Amino acid sequence: MRELFFKGTPQLETERLILRKLKLQDADDIFEYAADKEVTRYLTWETHKSVEDARKFINFILDKYKKDEAGEWGIVLKETGKLIGSIGMPWHDKKNKRAEIGFVLSRKYWGQGIMPEAVNRVLQFAFAEMGLNRIECCHALHNEKSGRVMQKVGMSFEGIAREKILAKNKFWDVKQYAILRSDWERLRKTPSFTCYN
Ligand SMILES: CC(C)(COP(=O)(O)OP(=O)(O)OC[C@H]1O[C@@H](n2cnc3c(N)ncnc32)[C@H](O)[C@@H]1OP(=O)(O)O)[C@@H](O)C(=O)NCCC(=O)NCCS
């Protein structure tokens, strides 16, 4: 049997969160945050206009799960069972053991350290279970709150990648961050580093 790159996208857990595969029943929860222009302002995808846009996204991911091409998790708050965002590796490079992380969270939950908690768990999965060596992440120049998440999980700023992304009819300069497996192993042994899980 061929080795599954995303290991079947298993359910992951942190203190406050369950990270699990998306399902069609999540459409309303996804639409709730994906229809918010403030949330999608710096994202490459368009603000959802109807719940059908959320269904299309979920179906796209369900199809990828079947082919083991989707490291995409819904972020569920344990306390309420509500799906409040998603995190995934939309791009990967098997040969060089690299992947890129992307994430989004409902505005109501910003500022509570939820995304750093989710990213830390996904990094653990990527390095310890998938055997990757480098995880990258980038954000549109002015989306500094996303940069804060990258800094909090120990990623290093590597520079500005000019016109890296073509989205919403223009090329975007982005701030490029990454963390290596060796950085991650060193950080985990640093007592002052908050690993969240
Ligand atoms: C970026 C994002 C995932 C951060 O998640 P989070 O769980 O709020 O992360 P944190 O709690 O660590 O907060 C990160 C920063 O956001 C900013 N922030 C916090 N609460 C905020 C609020 N209510 N409104 C605006 N910004 C806020 C702060 O600068 C904070 O940094 P600080 O802790 O040093 O003050 C979230 O803001 C989001 O989903 N944004 C829209 C989608 C997006 O931009 N995704 C990333 C694409 S690259």
Beta bridge partners of 100: 91, 136
**pLDDT tens per residue across span 72-89:** 999 999 999 999 999 999
90 Cβ below 6 A of ligand 1: no
Contact predicate 135/100, CB 8 Å:
yes
What's the mean pLDDT when you consider all of the chain?
95
Closest C-alpha to 125, from 89, 93, 95: 89
Exposure b/e, 110-126, CB count within 10 A at least 16 = b: eeeebbbbbbbbbbbbb
Asked if the model's pLDDT at residue 32 lies above 70, the reply is: yes
H-helix or E-strand containing 147?
helix 144-152
Top-tier CATH class for 12-188? alpha beta
Percentage of the chain lying above the pLDDT 70 cut? 97
Which residue type sits at 132? L
Contact predicate 87/102, CB 8 Å:
yes
pLDDT band at 195 (very low <50, low <70, confident <90, very high): low
Residue range 151-159: average pLDDT? 98
- The pLDDT value given to residue 185: 95
Task: State in Å: Cα 9 to ligand 1 middle.
Answer: 25
- Count CB atoms within 10 A of the CB of residue 190: 10
112 Cβ below 6 A of ligand 1: yes
Dist CA 48 CA 197 (whole Å) = 32
Dist CA 65 CA 11 (whole Å) = 13
- The domain locations on the chain are 12-188
pTM: 0.96
The C-alpha angle 43, 197, 120, rounded to 5 degrees, equals: 30
Dist CA 165 CA 136 (whole Å) = 14
Task: State in Å: Cα 165 to ligand 1 middle.
Answer: 21
194 Cβ below 6 A of ligand 1: no
**pLDDT tens per residue across span 50-63:** 999 999 999 999 99
